[in-house]
Chains A and B, each alone.
Chain A
Amino acid sequence: MDLLWQGIKEAIRLLLGGDPEVFAIVLLSLRVSLIATATSLILGVPTGMALALSRFGGRRFLISLVNVGMGIPPVVVGLMVAILLWRSGPLGFLGIMYSPLAIIIAQTLIAFPIVTGLTLAAVQQLNPKVRLQILALGASRWQMLWILAREARLSILAAAMAGFGGVISEVGASMMVGGNILGQTRVLTTATVLETSKGNFDVALALSTILFALAYTITLALTVVQQREKAP
């Protein structure tokens, strides 16, 4: 219990004391995960809608891939991205291994199937007649997609929360493609792992408390938006 208490006190001290190192880690974590979530929304929402609304050969196979992707371990994604970005790998010439961009790419790949899968489910759940009704009102294809996305917005918000929750808390991929370099690619999760392995439980606890608080605050903000929308 003492350890926990120490950790919380240390966390408060680190936060309120404005420790520049911790501050940088928090900022980087937030920046990386928010960009990755936003990118996965930009790519995943249209993909999910397209999969929900179109009929083509191989559609079921793609949907099964998305569903598998929703549960894929971040370490596996990290490994794949690492192989791609490795200096002698196919995309090695980009020289972005061990950079925040590499983490963003890995996290986007982790969040993308989550956002796609949840959007797909949300749009499929809409009454099929809604589509006919939108067309009957004279909507063009793009207008219809826009209205459908608006109708599914609560579920898309949930997809955003799930995606963000998935990537802010993920450690394996960030470690593998980021390298946990202090001041460059060290994020909250990788720093927590490092401090724990060094036996610095108070710092590790402080970092995970911050991580928890961050994840909670952002999810709470989205929940408030979602529930305010829903309440009549």
Chain B
Amino acid sequence: MTPAALRIESVEMRYGQKTILRIPHLSIAEGEILAVIGPNGAGKSTLLQILGLLQRPSDGRVFFDGQEITGCSDLVALRRRLASVFQEPLLFHGTVLDNVALGLRLRGTPKNEIKRRVEPWLGKLNISHLAGRSIAKLSFGEAQRVNLARSLVLNPEVFLLDEPFASLDPPTQASMAEELQNILAETKTTTVFVTQNRAEALMFSDRLAVVIDGQIAQLDRPQDVFSHPANEDVAAFLGVETIVEGRVLSSAEGLSRVALARHEILVTGTYPLEQEMLFCLRPEDITLLLPNARAALGLNANVIRGTITRIRPLETQLKVVVGCSFSVTVLVSKQAFIDLSLARGKQVLLTFKPSAVHVIPKRLSHER
């Protein structure tokens, strides 16, 4: 195991009476990329600022490179070994070059060395042609590239990113994420990276932390977090829109029969009988059919009949909510929407594979 670049122990952050962050332990290994996701206001940014030595926690200890910094009065020298990028490109008066060079200038780097170090990063982030331009004349995407270059040029030991692409348009977002991924693969910099984008988190990180209500609800390899959310909140945040309470009726040979309200379905896996559990379905794992397709396709298991109660357009697909004895959310392509002439009140069938159902233990009421 590589030594921890950053570690926090029993950290708490309070504003007045309110505790907004409580993390018993978190360590980030050297060279690791940790993604942090969670709903707005969950404490992600505060966590990042504590890790970036920009805010002192109300309680607890922070270690950087094995050294405890909690009592340190002069953090400037330590801070200069890390770099933080915020969601908005907060650039300062002057040209693009002035801004990219600012951190080096603050460190008293000689002029010719600043020039030597800044130029390659201007190139890598495709902003060389903007070097002499005033920051007032930049587009938002350009400004965010300058923001990234400004931190990358510092060659930090730890890189902390707070939703750096969130306010960009989707195509720019995707291309910048890819560029950054390449840069990080090359520099092998320890990185903590806050995002709201689930795909970004999955694609980018060695480990993924889900922060909900100021606590780390789950911390694991990203594929494990996505396939086995630890609880209902994590599942809901990761895009499982259908979570139904149910009871296992029988369980044999890796397949269980489950009662979900008035329906019976098959679920992969063996579970204790007669115990209340939560059954999760992702919208993309459910297929929507018209009632007459049942016979044609020879379906009999895991078919649920229901009525469309709501249709919401998304960017490339439509989100359809179907009411049966509970409510199920399904994603439907635009073509399917037209072909099946879907509308509110229409009767439809829903079907899914037994392996698409994810089972999580039901939380006892006092755990909330």
Contact = CB atoms under 8 A, between A and B. Distances in A.
Given A135-B79, A138-B79, A138-B107, A129 B88 contact: yes
Contacts of A143: 106
Interface stretch (A18-26, A57-65, A146-154): A146-154
A135 B106 contact: no
Interface in B93-143: 93, 102-103, 106-107, 134, 136-137
Contacts of B52: 136
Given A138-B154, A232-B137, A133 B86 contact: yes
A130 interface: yes
A138 B102 CA distance: 9
B103 A127 contact: no
Interface in A77-125: none
> Could you say which interface size class chain A belongs to?
10 to 19
Interface string B224-247: 000000000000000000000000
Given A132-B84, A132-B86, A150-B92, A137 B102 contact: yes
A143 B107 CA distance: 10
A134 B145 CA distance: 17
A140 interface: yes
Contacts of B321: none
Contacts of A136: 52, 54, 79, 82-84, 86, 151
A137 B80 CA distance: 7
B134 A232 contact: yes
Contact of A132 (B54, B102, B103, B134): B54
B355 to A, nearest CB: 45
B90 A133 contact: yes
A50 to B, nearest CB: 19
B83 to A, nearest CB: 7
A173 to B, nearest CB: 36
Contacts of A147: 92
A35 interface: no
Interface string B62-101: 0000000000000010011011101010101100000000
B150 interface: yes
A232 B84 contact: no
Nearest to A135: B54
B344 to A, nearest CB: 44
A139 interface: yes
Interface string B24-54: 0000000000000000000000000100101
Nearest to A230: B136
Interface in B334-357: none
Nearest to A132: B54
B136 A232 contact: yes
Contacts of A153: 93
Contacts of B93: 150-151, 153
A139 B74 CA distance: 12
A223 to B, nearest CB: 18
Given A132-B54, A232-B134, A137 B106 contact: yes
Contact of B92 (A135, A141, A151): A151
Contacts of A141: 76
Nearest to B80: A138
Contacts of A140: 76, 106
Nearest to B138: A232
15 contacts: A129-B88, A132-B49, A132-B84, A133-B86, A133-B90, A137-B102, A137-B150, A138-B79, A138-B107, A139-B106, A140-B76, A140-B106, A141-B76, A150-B93, A153-B93
Given A137-B102, A153-B93, 4 more contacts: A129-B88, A133-B86, A136-B54, A136-B82
Interface of A: 127, 129-130, 132-133, 135-141, 143, 147, 150-151, 153, 232
**4 interchain residue pairs of minimum CB distance:** A136-B84, A138-B80, A232-B136, A137-B103
